């Protein structure tokens, strides 16, 4: 069976992250936010599955017919996608709302009922995605990310894409005084400006990190102007999640706008920059539109390289692993296995971690304990950089911060 040396891969990743000349983009999914714990040890932001359970409870609390509607919609989603999560359910509800006539009943609910169903999900997501300040640790992995960005001068701006609704990335960047552009312009009531995503000359210079919140944010909301028109504005984290998961479907052009603009931005970043690098973390490749952009870019750009850092090991039949097999520019680092150079295999050191290697390997790789009676150090272990906490510590070692 094939094996991969974690030391070799760690050295490769360290060199890329320390390089000043490579265009780098990062994609953070839900796993990055739920890696943070509050003082009681609970996840600061719940993962996708627990979040779905909270949303289901909120919907069922509306009454029996809403519980039945949840079961019906979840079953439809699972039949179509072979799995179900809260984002797919929310999208399905919105599709039903758009398709239903004023007197129609879908999943046992009329249009107002579907609206209540959808609003219960949004309110729940917004509530859990904005934890109280007292629960937020003083030191976050996001601070290490910001320090790494601040201390590396690059010819192109670092581009951060995220599917998360919370503002932990913004908190880390602001605390570390990293200038950030997120597609909103203005000072009194910043509004979404899609042209600035398409035209570099309309955005700030390369010293400003780009932050693109593909699935929306708890601090986005609709604003109605005096002429009756509406636009998307960024403000306080006190709304009801009305712009969580902007839709890609054509039935709602105004809601579609930020989602599509940011997907187009991801496409351009991956296809128009020479020797581009994309690192994904906490992202399980559950968004078909994002996946399509990434995989299509890999097909047309041989010199684009994608490194997917996974908290666990994706199943052999996962689309990510299927794509990585036979691909030289898609690398997957799992906890116990990896797909490198088109070959999947277990992690196995070519030589044990000794005092000489310890400073390089102690953070990214956790060697297994030796078997009883065996004096030889273990060559197997777990790759830890798919956990945002360990990835943050790794970034700190790159910029010389060992605190």
DSSP 227-295: TS-EEEEE--S-S--TTBS---STT-HHHHHHHHHHHHHHHHHHHSSTT-EEEEES--S--HHHHHHHH
pLDDT tens sequence across 87-125: 899 989 998 998 888 888 889 999 999 999 999 999 999
Dist. CA 236–CA 170, nearest whole Å: 13
SS in 3 state form for 238-256?
A: CCCCCCECCCCCCCCHHHH
Which residues are CB-contacts of 45 (< 8 A; sequence separation ≥ 6)? Answer: 30, 33, 34, 36, 128, 129, 131, 164, 166, 168
Same-domain status, 146 and 34: yes
Dist. CA 3–CA 351, nearest whole Å: 13
What does the buried/exposed string (b/e) look like for 389-399 if buried means 16 or more CB atoms within 10 Å of the residue's CB?
ebbbbbbbbbb
Asked if the structure places residue 391 within a domain, the reply is no
Q: How far, CA to CA in Å, does 32 sit from each of 27, 142, 154, 203?
A: 10, 9, 24, 27
Asked if the structure places residue 63 within a domain, the reply is yes
Asked if the structure places residue 308 within a domain, the reply is yes
Nearest C-alpha neighbor of 339 from the set 375, 383, 291: 383
Is a pLDDT exceeding 80 seen at residue 255?
A: no
The CATH number covering residue 285 comes to: 3.40.50.1220
Asked if the structure places residue 326 within a domain, the reply is yes
Residue in the block written with tokens 């995989």? 295
Q: What is the pLDDT of residue 402?
A: 59
Mean predicted lDDT score pLDDT of the chain: 91
pLDDT tens sequence across 279-322: 999 999 989 899 999 999 999 999 999 999 999 999 999 999 99
Same-domain status, 218 and 337: yes
Same-domain status, 258 and 200: yes
Same-domain status, 237 and 200: yes
Domain boundary among 129, 149, 177: 129
Range of the domain at 72: 48-129
Same-domain status, 168 and 98: no
Counted domains in the chain = 2
Same-domain status, 305 and 160: yes
Asked if the structure places residue 359 within a domain, the reply is no
Same-domain status, 147 and 271: yes
Same-domain status, 14 and 52: no
pLDDT tens sequence across 328-358: 999 999 999 999 999 999 999 998 888 777 8
Same-domain status, 150 and 17: yes
């Amino acid at each position: 069976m094939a094996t991969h040396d974690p030391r070799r891969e760690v050295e490769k990743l360290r060199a890329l992250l320390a390089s000043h000349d490579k265009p780098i983009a990062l994609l953070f999914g839900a796993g990055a936010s739920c890696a943070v714990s509050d003082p009681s040890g609970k996840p600061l932001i719940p993962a996708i599955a627990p979040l779905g359970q909270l949303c289901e409870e909120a919907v069922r609390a509306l009454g029996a017919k809403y519980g039945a509607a949840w079961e019906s919609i979840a079953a439809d989603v699972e039949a179509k996608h072979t799995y179900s999560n809260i984002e797919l359910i929310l999208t399905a509800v919105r599709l039903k709302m758009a398709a239903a006539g004023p007197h129609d009943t879908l999943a046992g609910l009329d249009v107002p009922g579907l609206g209540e169903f959808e609003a219960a999900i949004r309110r729940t997501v917004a509530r859990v995605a904005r934890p109280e300040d007292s629960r937020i640790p003083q030191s976050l992995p996001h601070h290490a990310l910001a320090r790494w960005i601040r201390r590396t001068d690059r010819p192109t701006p670092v581009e951060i894409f995220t599917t998360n609704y919370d503002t932990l990335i913004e908190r880390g960047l602001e605390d570390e005084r990293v200038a950030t552009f997120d597609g909103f312009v203005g000072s009194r009531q910043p509004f979404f400006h899609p042209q600035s995503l398409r035209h570099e000359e309309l955005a700030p210079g390369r010293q400003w990190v780009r932050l693109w919140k593909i699935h929306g944010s708890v601090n986005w909301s609709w604003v109605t102007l005096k002429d009756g028109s509406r636009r998307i504005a960024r403000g306080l984290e006190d709304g009801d999640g009305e712009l969580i998961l902007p839709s890609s479907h054509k039935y709602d052009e105004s809601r579609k706008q930020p989602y599509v603009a940011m997907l187009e931005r991801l496409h351009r970043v991956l296809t128009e920059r020479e020797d581009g690098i994309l690192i994904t973390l906490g992202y399980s490749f559950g968004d078909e539109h994002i996946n399509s952009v990434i995989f299509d870019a890999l097909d047309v750009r041989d010199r684009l390289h994608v490194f997917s850092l996974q908290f666990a090991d994706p199943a052999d039949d996962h689309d990510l692993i299927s794509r990585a097999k036979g691909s030289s520019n898609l690398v997957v680092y799992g906890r116990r296995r990896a797909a490198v150079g088109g070959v999947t295999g277990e992690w196995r050191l070519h030589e044990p971690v000794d005092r000489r290697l310890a400073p390089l390997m102690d953070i990214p790789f956790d060697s297994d304990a030796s078997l009883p009676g065996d004096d030889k150090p273990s060559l197997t272990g777990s790759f830890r950089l798919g956990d945002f906490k360990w990835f943050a510590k790794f970034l700190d070692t790159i910029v010389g911060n060992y605190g």
